Structure 1
Amino acid sequence: MTRPVVAVVDAKTSGNVGTIARAMKNFGFRDLYLTDPPDLSRDSEAYGFAGQAREDVLPDAEVVDFDSLVENFHTVGFTAITNEDARKHTRWPYTTPEELRETLGEVDAPTCLVFGREAVGLHNEELERLDQVASIPASAEYPVMNLGQAATIALYELQELARDDTQLPEKERERAAEAEIERYYDHVDDFLDDIDYPEEKQAKTMRLVRRVLGRAHPTGREIATLHGILRRTENRLGDDATDN
């Protein structure tokens, strides 16, 4: 799959461009295109905000015109404000980043994610020329985000289209052997007897315990720890009974 590129149109603040470059580096995106960019010299805010992206993403950014983006890429423009129905086509239909991740993941095509200005975003005339419109779900009271913030959220949602791997280990979880889990259920059942738990409630309680652990997929160590808690409680109850 071709990794999407990112374009920023007419940003007014170099710090936002640096923030976007950093988010690109975080989530595996590499190629940054800029239309009418602000000052991006080495002593600008952009390099202060870019983190390690100051080493490649930001200095390698290419300045292009809007026509070049439209002519060379499948373009997806991001906007906070959408139309409510299909009577106006400029900002409708739109897709969320989550939906976009699914659809773009099925197509191998040169794709460009286009973000607009800090104050007004992409103009309608620009959105009309783009292939798709996307919008991040947000509070209806205040859906408009800072440019760098919006791009960071979108790139996070779309990172599976760009990054090769992450710093996180594989989320493999080895469930305890069923025999171990069953022994724990027996232990709980015996414990309820020992504390004179109401007999009419015991069967229901055991079903609840089974369902909770069934959803949790406990490891062997976790089951051993739960056994240990019951044993310490039993020992303490035994000590109290002896004292009395």
Structure 2
Amino acid sequence: MGVAVAVVDAETPGNVGTIARAMKNFGFGSLQLVDPPDLDPDGEAYGFAGHAREDVLPNHDVLTFDELVSEFYTVGFTAMTGRDEGRHVRYPFKTPAELAEHLADVEGDIALVFGREGTGLSNEEFARIDEVCSIPASPDYPVLNLGQAATVALYELRGLTLDEMHHPDRHDRADERALEGLYDQFQSFLAAIDRPEEKRAKTERMLRRVLGRAHPTGREVTTLRGLFRRAEMQIDRARDEES
């Protein structure tokens, strides 16, 4: 299965560049353009594309809408859906999250189709598209611009192209042995500060609950253990000096 992104009759080169950049972010490589604007290598499309200017944008294909619907299983994106079967051109529809699971079972090539900045895809075009997707938004202002809509949709559908999500800030929780070592250190600290024995168990449970919610990393646990240990050493030193 190949997944392409198609943009129909985009009015501004910058939006094409923005979509190409979002494609690069989320693992999509095939950009299909129907009636595109001029994409000057020195213009705003390439300026907005980021690193996608190196591959996604210059390798785009230009095709007709007839070719698009005949060569791909098409999913059209819209803000205006019609919410019942009486307005069936854009109904039924799925959200991007619902669509992700569904498209994983589709055989053949898929095109995620976005329309014009001002009017989107027409009803005539939707009538020829296989499926409709709508991005949930506030009813007070549900309309997203073209670049925003594509970025949100491609983020939700990234699982179609990325086997493993790369996230440099992924949280690695400390293992249980490290946490137990911290709790033992805290217990020793409570004794060093002469916390009343009848209150120690409750204080230890409190720390367990706090850290259970916080999911500290291994480095954070090591730092806390070092602080408690250093505090104990200073307490012992002060007592030795007093005696």
Q: CA offset at residue 174 of structure 1?
A: 7.5
User: Residue 151 of structure 1 corresponds to which residue in structure 2?
Assistant: 150
User: Residue 182 of structure 1 corresponds to which residue in structure 2?
Assistant: 180
- 3-state SS of paired residue (1:120): coil
Letter in 1 for 2:89: T
User: Pick from 179, 184, 192: which aligns with 2:190?
Assistant: 192
1:232 and 2:227 correspond: no
Q: CA offset at residue 237 of structure 1?
A: 4.2
The question of whether the paired residues in 1 share the 8 Å contact of 2:174 and 2:218 is answered with yes
Check 1:240–1:81 CA distance in 2 against 1; reply closer, same or farther (3 A cut).
farther
Q: Which moved more, 1:121-130 or 1:9-18?
A: 121-130
Check 1:217–1:52 CA distance in 2 against 1; reply closer, same or farther (3 A cut).
closer
Q: CA offset at residue 199 of structure 1?
A: 5.4
Matches within 5 A, 1:50-65: 50-65=49-64
User: Residue 84 of structure 1 corresponds to which residue in structure 2?
Assistant: 83
Letter in 2 for 1:228: G
Aligned pair count?
Answer: 242
Q: TM-score, normalised by structure 1?
A: 0.82
User: Residue 206 of structure 2 corresponds to which residue in structure 1?
Assistant: 208
Q: CA offset at residue 13 of structure 1?
A: 0.6
User: Residue 115 of structure 2 corresponds to which residue in structure 1?
Assistant: 116
Q: CA offset at residue 144 of structure 1?
A: 1.5
Q: TM-score, normalised by structure 2?
A: 0.82
Q: CA offset at residue 155 of structure 1?
A: 1.6
User: Residue 23 of structure 1 corresponds to which residue in structure 2?
Assistant: 22
Q: Distance in 1 between matches of 2:137 and 2:234?
A: 52
The question of whether the paired residues in 1 share the 8 Å contact of 2:174 and 2:221 is answered with no
Check 1:79–1:240 CA distance in 2 against 1; reply closer, same or farther (3 A cut).
farther
Check 1:52–1:184 CA distance in 2 against 1; reply closer, same or farther (3 A cut).
closer
- 3-state SS of paired residue (1:76): strand
Percent identity reads: 57
Check 1:235–1:129 CA distance in 2 against 1; reply closer, same or farther (3 A cut).
same
